[in-house]
Amino acid sequence: MIYLDNAATSSPKPQTVIKAVERSLREFCANPGRSGHDLSQRAALEIYECRKKVCEFFNGPSEDKVIFTPNCTHSLNYVLKGLLSPGDHVIASSMEHNAVARPLHQLAKQGVEVDVAEVIFDDMDATLRSFGALIQHNTKLIVCTHASNVTGMVLPIKEIGALCRQYGILFVVDAAQTAGIIDIDMEDMNIDFLCIAPHKGLYAPMGTGILIARSNLPKTVIEGGTGTMSIEIEQPEDLPERLESGTLNLPGIMGISAGIDFVKSKTLDRIYNHELKLMQMLYDALESLPNIRLYTSRPQKDLYAPVLSFNIGGMTSGEAASKLNNYGIAVRAGLHCAPMAHKRIGTLDIGTVRVCPSVFTSPNHIHELVNVIKRIIHSSKNYYIY
């Protein structure tokens, strides 16, 4: 199978990641930091070393501000529900995933004011002005995706961060599609809360998430055992324990650690340039076909993450993806849990076929995808030209 669904989760995983997970189960199968015996302490040390690695990779504030979560959606929920209260105002982008849109919808029902800043395609200055125009006296935070999981469009994160600093607003970034692919520097970009899906660009196992928090959260979403201050009925105040109730996913965390080492060995620049070149190659090939609908301009460096959406004339995205699957090509179809983005590009009714490569994708994989698309077009009974 040619796997091109890496925006959902990366596949295959590097052998070093697989070996790290296996090693965790063989050598560190104890509850980290919950007991005084050597095995528990060794497991806790592995987690601490991964915290340091994550902090360094994203230039976070300190390793104790690195929180391990079940996934990026949990990270975003912890932040949004931990910070916002009735009467607060929050600004999100028009390209948000449901991991942001649904928590904000719930918070709006509780009295939080929500505004949506329009993302202007290929114009970061205009997008920045969209955010700036919505700031008001009670704006508590801005939350936005670093790059759309539908179009790949990159938002001007550093500039939005500077805007937040200017107005004393907290800045929350959903880096699900960029962490491990595009350089992220929390200090330089003035990011207060960075939410990460390490099973994507960091090649870690599924069921892992990261939150890097510059400051604490006044409210918690879940409470429970943390291994510290057990006599107290109140949840601990200090990070990371405040947000890490229950047993941590040690195999997944050791997979994150190995995934970061893998990405560092390849370097972010090489990974990004390789994957973007593949999407440019695909875009150029599809643009030459008269019955293919593309929804963005040609992906350009620094303006797009390596994600490309398209449709084939005469069929829904689901039908097209099913036909590709019959040829052994795995892509994602539908709304990609991001109806806001699909509303923005006018595809709420049919969705899009989404392609996302990885470091393991080759030009031959893209050539084969294009050849199969041509076969599908020529065999389609409902052929029409967009």
- Bridge-based pairing state of the strands 139-145 and 66-69: unpaired
Q: Three-state DSSP class for 92? A: strand
69 dihedral zone (left: phi>0; alpha: psi -120 to 50; beta): beta
Report d(CA 193, CA 80) in Å as an integer. 10
Phi then psi for 130, rounded to 5 degrees?
Answer: -60, -40
Q: Can you tell me which residue has the tokens 């993450």? A: 305
Q: What angle do CA 316, 304, 11 make, to 5 degrees?
A: 65
**Is 337 noted as a catalytic residue in this protein?**
yes
Phi then psi for 202, rounded to 5 degrees?
Answer: -95, 0
Taking Cα atoms as reference points, which of 326, 328, 327, 322 lies closest to residue 1? Answer: 328
Residue type, 127: T
**What are the C-alpha distances in Å from 175 to residues 59, 116, 212, 247, 266?**
14, 18, 11, 25, 20
Buried-state track 161-200, b at ≥16 Cβ within 10 A, e below 16? bebbeeeebbbbbbbbbbbbbbebebeebbbbbbbbbbbb
Per DSSP, the residues of 222-237 read -----SSSTT-SSPPS
Catalytic residue among 50, 72, 195, 337: 337
Q: Are 318 and 351 in contact (CB under 8 A)?
A: yes
Residue partners of 306: CB distance under 8 A and separation at least 6:
152, 181, 272, 275, 276, 278, 279, 299, 356, 357
Report d(CA 381, CA 62) in Å as an integer. 59
CA 1 to chain centre: 24
Report d(CA 334, CA 2) in Å as an integer. 19
Residues with catalytic annotation?
Answer: 337
